[in-house]
Structure 1
Amino acid sequence: MKNFFPALLALGAVTLSACSTAPAPASLPTESQTVTGSEKAFAGLSDQIVYGTVTNTTNRPYQVSVTPYNQMSGGWCGGTLLSSTWVLTAAHCVEGQSTSSMRVRAGINDLTTSGGQLRTASQIIIHPYYSGAESGYDIALIRVGTAFTMGSTVQTAALPGSGAESVLDVNGKYATVSGWGLTENGTYSNRALREVSIPITPTGSDCGSRPGNTICGKYYQGKDSCNGDSGGPLAARYNSKFYVLGIVSYGPAECRGYGIYTRVNGYINWIYQQTGISAQ
């Protein structure tokens, strides 16, 4: 469910955005409508969670889908809802895209249907230092034109302040990554949101050389995010809140652990400056 960046191809790694061509729905809902019921420039990638389990937006209500308007049924990238109007995702998911083309869907499990709440981006902010995942700063913000309606399947995740960070983002802890990316069968999971719990470390060398302000998703039973999961949340629960610790960035092409996640706590000030949303 990751998108692995080309700079790591020498190590067998790629960025984890959706890289397959998905047919556009016959008719798309209009902006701000609540409904019921890609080829990206990274060749050879696929989309899904590896050795995970089917979940749903009731369990992961902060999970959103981030896609161009003509890739909505295929699962381009994921994102995390930070407020009713702001979404956190990876820079490589929105690089080169226009606000008019990007769509965010919340409260949906099956991307091939017209379910959930659909919104059009009104602003896209990529970190100014971003120049490719291998250099770090793989983080971006999307503001939607019309606020999402909160409910049982649409809720925000909290940004981790120093207190939550010191408890959750430490060696030996586990966190959950979710998305619609490729699975161990090499097929799309666009009909079902999936999740997997993996051991993480902010400082360990398990993932080898990596940019600063990243989290390493350590190898564990072959579990991993994969292509199509890029931009999605690496999250953990603490004091009855879901905290977004990381953003799916890149990892090994075979999607078998050692994935790299942008460390959200390292960008708290930047996020606040852009959105006014504080850490908790």
Structure 2
Amino acid sequence: MFGLTRARKTAVVAATAAAAATALLNAPTAEAASSRIVGGTTTTTTAYPFMMQITDASQKQFCGGTLVSATKVVTAAHCLAGESAGSVRVVGGRTYLDGTNGTVAKVSDIWVHPDYTDVTEGNDVAVLTLSTSMPYTPASYVGSSDTGVYAAGTTARIIGWGTTSSGGSSSNQLRTATVPTVSNSSCASSYGSDFIPSDMVCAGHTSGGVDTCQGDSGGPLIIGGVLAGITSWGEGCAQAGYPGIYTRLTTFSDEVTEQVES
């Protein structure tokens, strides 16, 4: 263990703000990917129409999500654990956090994986059901048999509004970057028993420099044009020798499909 880890979630939800602030002050460097992309470039929701902001009721973004059907969004369990449907909104088609365009949808149901307890224990996946449809092109996602997508060295794309440095400020504009997937053995050498290969996949450069960070939690890891992972956690952001950790979506694909089709 690396002590108390933090998922890469931006703590802005009113109901948990005080507790989150205390955690942010006291937590060590392991963080959830709630910051903006480190080492990336600016992009738009036109380029990535499936990219959703997950916000509180006042539309303050705290996580990302991926639209996989008109009314379903895949995100991280640690983003929604303890939240109620009434306290969450999903915003699509809005490139800038301070924008007013796009579509805002209320949430009618939150499914958090029933075995989720902590990011380092795996099962970091959730599905939101929207009260109204999103008029944007959804992303396809991996099936349970598509395990070959994670071959070490495969190029993966990360997207989000998270911080551009560990503990820094969130990016107002959507950002993106590419990182290579990392072998299970290499990731285990970095994270020890906190890395669960059945539930997690690592992506990042050995030298660091490019990564998801606080505020990017719940956003997509895109491989071969499809959703293959969910931004989950990591030791700091973009640190050499500590790649980002993402939910291995093939493991949970069938459960996600049950929620998407329900």
TM-score range, shorter chain: 0.7 to 0.9
Out of 226, 230, 234, the residue aligned to residue 221 of structure 2 is 234
- What SS does structure 2 have at the residue aligned with 1:15? coil
Structure 1 Cα separation of the partners of residues 220 and 153 of structure 2: 19
Per-residue deviation at 1:274? Answer: 2.0
Distance 1:273 1:136, change over 3 A: same
Point out where structure 2 has 5 or more consecutive residues left out of the alignment: 26-30
**Shift in Å, 1:208:** 2.5
Which shows bigger deviation, 157-166 or 121-130?
157-166
1:19 positional shift: 2.7
1:123-146 deviation per Cα after TM superposition (whole angstroms, max 9, x unaligned): 000001101111000100000001
For the residue of structure 1 that corresponds to 2:96, the secondary structure is coil
Percent identity (aligned)? 32
Output the TM-score relative to the length of structure 2: 0.84
Deviation larger for 120-129 or 58-67: 58-67
- Contact map agreement 1:174 1:199 (CA 8 A) in 2: yes
- 2-structure distance, mates of 1:129, 1:157: 25
Q: Quick check: 1:65 aligned with 2:53? A: yes
Please tell me whether residue 52 in structure 1 is matched to residue 34 in structure 2: no
8, 23, 34: which one aligns with 1:16 = 8
Query: Superposed, which structure 2 residues align to 1:199-210 within 5 Å?
Result: 199-201=180-182, 203-206=184-187, 207-209=190-192, 210=195
| Residue in structure 1 matching 2:230, options 221, 234, 247 | 247
- What TM-score does the superposition give when structure 1 sets the normalisation length? 0.79
Tell me, in whole angstroms, the C-alpha distance in 1 between the residues paired with 2:50 and 2:2. 29
2:139 maps to amino acid: A
Q: Structure 2 vs 1, CA of residues 87 and 62 (structure 1 numbering), >3 Å: closer, same or farther?
A: same
Count residues with an aligned counterpart. Answer: 242
Instruction: Say whether the 8 Å CA contact 2:165–2:237 is kept in structure 1.
Output: no
Aligned with 1:267 (options 240, 252, 258): 252
Q: 1:20 touches 1:39 (CA, 8 Å); kept in 2?
A: no
Q: Which runs of 5+ in 1 are unaligned?
A: 1-6, 23-37
Aligned letter for 1:15? Answer: A
2:28: which partner in 1? none
What is the distance in 2 between the residues matched to 1:179 and 1:9?
26
**2:139 alignment partner, one of 143, 150, 157:** 157
Pair 1:172 & 2:153 matched: yes
Q: How does 1:205-220 map to 2 (within 5 A)?
A: 205-206=186-187, 207-209=190-192, 210-211=195-196, 212-220=198-206
Structure 1 segments, 4+ long, off by >6 Å, are: none
Question: Within the alignment, does 1:135 sit opposite 2:149 as a pair?
Answer: no
Residue 125 (structure 1) aligns with: 111
* 1:32 matched residue in structure 2: none
Q: 1:254 to 1:268 in 2, by over 3 A?
A: closer
How many angstroms apart in 2 are the aligned matches of 1:202 and 1:105? Answer: 34
Deviation at 1:21, TM superposition (A): 7.8
Quick check: which one's helix share is greater? 2
- Tell me the CA shift for residue 196 of structure 1: 1.1
